[in-house]
A and B are shown apart, each in its own frame.
Chain A
Amino acid sequence: MERVILVRYTEIHLKGLNRPFFEQKLIENIRHALKGIPSRVEREQGRIYIVGIPESDFEEAIERLKAVFGIHSISPAYAVDKDWETVTKTAFELMEKQVEKKPDLSFKVFARRSDKHYFMNSDGINRELGHLVLERFPSVHVDIHKPEVSLCVEIREKAYIYAEEIPCAKGMPVGSSGRATLLISGGIDSPVAGYFMAKRGIVLSAVHFYSYPYTSERARDKVVELTRLLSRFAGRIRLHLVPFTDIQMKIHEECPSKETTVIMRRLMMKIAQRLAEGEGAKALITGEALGQVASQTLESLCTTDDAVTMPVLRPLIGFDKDDIMDWARKIGTYETSILPFEDCCTVFVPKHPVTKPEVADIRASEALVDFTELIENAIENTEVLTVKYEDPKLI
């Protein structure tokens, strides 16, 4: 009797002729996620089966699969010979575990067969096995509409039997939607924004701007760590670390004080776009939510958008801060995001930033200073790291 994991996938069903492409991506990503765990990934008729997992790694494999986008749910199943005696014996074993948890549970048998030569049809299996389970476990009852436990039997080249369905991350396989570049700050929002775009199949790269000595070296390690946590879902991420102190000082010295934040964001976008173009990314991603702070009013967003030609994706635009924090907790980045090594660059933040900047005004202020050389310098001195989830934790 072998334990296997049955993988159901999400919207890939919607795809027409492109379906093999999506399936192939998903299988690649599953293989990548299971690296180090002996296993074989097999595809068959709209399902993926993972076989050959050693018993000791089984729980770990389930945990890892939960983070793979494109998987709707998984079920740990027994793959057994399809003679009726073995099928019932295995079904009893599974039910016994469930009955231990809740003696008066409701259940139904849900059978499918792709082996049309099997001696019983699906409906027959439902009725016969349901009857046997009721006989064996008198405390349970049948509910075919809302069962607490669905005892599933699939008759294929073998019989797959399972009673548990574990919901997963859903979304689209990473790599099925092209590449985009995430501006990552070290705060709570940007990793969540990256998560949501990766969930729609985007391959992420990331850009972080640091202002040493105004931000500490630990702040930099924190961003690397956040990127690492994000790569659990998004796969390996190329992280660009851009030295930004000189530009910030120039802005601070020469631009009108209340516009410094908006101008700073425009320059960040410009640099991010250059780095994005350099690696074939098609869009920028930010963690902005409308109205959260002065630089995230609709007017401010217009002025930052004006600095670049690429589309700027803002998956959190309609989120409340609370919801973003909930998601950050859910994906495991929150605790790192709230580490305190971040905003000592508040020295650069004006007390009264403009909240409704006019694009024309900001363009004019920005034109007073020639940033070309500083931008070139920053790009030239950008450090690139490839961050993956298996990397050691830095902080």
Chain B
Amino acid sequence: MYKRSGLHGYPRGKPLCKSISERYPDTGQIIAMIYFDNSATTRVFDEAASVAVSYMREGYFNPSAAYSPAVSVEREVNLARGRLASFFRADPSELIFTSGGTESNNIALSGTLAQRRDKCRIITTAVEHPSVYEPVNALKSSGYDVVIVDVDELGRVDASALEAALTDNTGFVSIMHVNNEVGAINDINALYTLVKSRAPGAVFHSDGVQAFLKLPAVRCDMYSFSGHKLHAPKGVGGLFVKRGVKFAGGQMGGGQENNLRSGTTNVPSIMALDTAAGLYMKHHGEYMAAMRDVKLRLYNNLTRINDVVLNGPSPEEGASYILNMSFLGVRGEVLLNSLSEKGLLVSTGSACAARHRGKNRILTAMGIKDARQDGAIRFSFSPENTVDEADKAAQMIEDSLSVLRRFRRR
């Protein structure tokens, strides 16, 4: 192995987020870590982690097996399915467990198209997550009529543009509930009504990965969600498919999940998701208020700094747990590195895009370009964040900016 000495005092090769603040043995220094990247992923709730462990060590049986311990595990999974389905006021049979948001979004599309013979029209928006945007675009080359609908300058889908795009042969419409980069909220109920009135044959899907359990349930034919945005482990999520919607399912094999998504049931993660979701439902008001307070506090602190611009909807209008701001005169990536050195972890956009350089598709679609796009930072919160952290974070940002802004390109 390499010698793992620090890059600017940060020990390398060891997990950073063991606890919110940690004393590093090599330096003795306490680095308080502030994690404001909860739209990328969240820290698993203690309770959820213990439940997962208990289903790994005790209730580890394959629920498809015939003996009695397996049957009781199957029962537990189905009870969990019922509790999650209740959020949609749905029947448990309308909820399929998957490996997460990407799989749910992928099979929503492919499983719908598999039931149609025609090369129908497919509509989505310019700001969708790559797990919707890429598969939809890939269908262009196989002859599907793909229409990408624009968004307004706040990142919400343009309803009139959507209306104009709807045709009789529209087979699939996918519109995200909450945008992952700027927190814009689409009025899915109204859009659903619109789509059903203009294109009754279309299946309406919504990517709810950033909204599930945080915002009220909405009307739609399909809805995707993911566990790890809600303090459950990575690798588990689900797809709600309304009864009567023609859906061919996803991966094939042993016939699990009502023969719609085969694969050994991921019991520990499903049960942890159930636990985390239970906590979210129980403490919903409290959690939402906590995140809103942190967001508003950070927003107010940051607006006091020069040349800082808000991207997306106003703090009250947008999702109360996502804040996107541009710091003019610095590159977001540089600011991010500098903040990470101080212990504040944020992102420049979707983590799914951190490895690709070039333009930010979402901000571009919103008409945000040049210096404002370059300097964009996304802050995303969890109920574990505090107002005190928002104050500290703002101070760190101010400190970093005062250094970085001295070195603009000449």
Chain A residues close to B by CB (< 8 Å): 210, 212-217, 220, 224, 243, 249, 252-253, 257, 339-341, 344, 346-351, 383-387, 391-392
Contact B337 A347, beta carbon cutoff 8 Å: no
* Chain B residues near A224 (CB-CB < 8 A): 2
Pick the contact of B7 from A212, A214, A252 — CB < 8 Å? A212
Contact A212 B410, beta carbon cutoff 8 Å: no
- What would be 18 A-B contacts, judged by CB atoms less than 8 Å apart? A210-B7, A212-B341, A213-B336, A213-B340, A216-B333, A217-B7, A217-B337, A217-B340, A224-B2, A243-B8, A249-B407, A257-B410, A347-B408, A349-B409, A383-B3, A383-B5, A386-B3, A391-B1
A180 CB, min distance to chain B CBs, angstroms: 22
Contact with A along B331-359 (1 / 0, CB 8 A): 10111111011000000000000011110
Contact A220 B7, beta carbon cutoff 8 Å: yes
A-B pairs with the 7 shortest C-beta distances?
A213-B337, A340-B357, A213-B338, A257-B410, A385-B2, A344-B333, A383-B5
Contact with A along B169-201 (1 / 0, CB 8 A): 000000000000000000000000000000000
Chain B residues close to A by CB (< 8 Å): 1-3, 5, 7-8, 331, 333-338, 340-341, 355-358, 404, 406-410
Check A346/B333 contact, CB under 8 A, given A213-B338, A383-B3: no
Pick the contact of A384 from B1, B3, B8, B335 — CB < 8 Å? B3
Contact A212 B409, beta carbon cutoff 8 Å: no
B405 CB, min distance to chain A CBs, angstroms: 11
Check A340/B409 contact, CB under 8 A, given A212-B341, A216-B333, A347-B331: no
Number of A-B residue pairs, CB cutoff 8 Å, is 63
Check A344/B331 contact, CB under 8 A, given A383-B5, A385-B2: yes
* Chain B residues near A383 (CB-CB < 8 A): 3, 5, 7
Pick the contact of A348 from B336, B357, B406, B407 — CB < 8 Å? B407
* Chain A residues near B356 (CB-CB < 8 A): 340
* Chain B residues near A351 (CB-CB < 8 A): 409-410
The CA-CA distance from A257 to B410 in the complex, in Å, is 7
* Chain A residues near B340 (CB-CB < 8 A): 213, 217
Check A340/B355 contact, CB under 8 A, given A217-B337, A347-B334, A384-B3: yes
* Chain A residues near B406 (CB-CB < 8 A): 253
Contact A346 B7, beta carbon cutoff 8 Å: no
* Chain B residues near A257 (CB-CB < 8 A): 410
Contact B407 A347, beta carbon cutoff 8 Å: yes
Q: Which residue of B lies closest to A217 (CB)?
A: B7
The CA-CA distance from A148 to B3 in the complex, in Å, is 51
* Chain B residues near A341 (CB-CB < 8 A): 355
Q: Which residue of B lies closest to A385 (CB)?
A: B2
B404 CB, min distance to chain A CBs, angstroms: 8
The CA-CA distance from A213 to B400 in the complex, in Å, is 10
* Chain B residues near A210 (CB-CB < 8 A): 7
Contact B355 A213, beta carbon cutoff 8 Å: no
The CA-CA distance from A214 to B334 in the complex, in Å, is 5
* Chain B residues near A349 (CB-CB < 8 A): 409
10 further A-B contacts with Cβ under 8 Å, apart from A215-B337, A347-B331, are A210-B7, A212-B7, A213-B337, A214-B334, A216-B337, A217-B7, A252-B407, A348-B409, A350-B410, A385-B2
B374 CB, min distance to chain A CBs, angstroms: 10
Which of B7, B341, B356 has the most chain A CB atoms closer than 10 A to its own CB?
B7
A378 CB, min distance to chain B CBs, angstroms: 13
Check A212/B407 contact, CB under 8 A, given A224-B2, A344-B331, A383-B3: no
The CA-CA distance from A375 to B399 in the complex, in Å, is 26
* Chain A residues near B408 (CB-CB < 8 A): 347
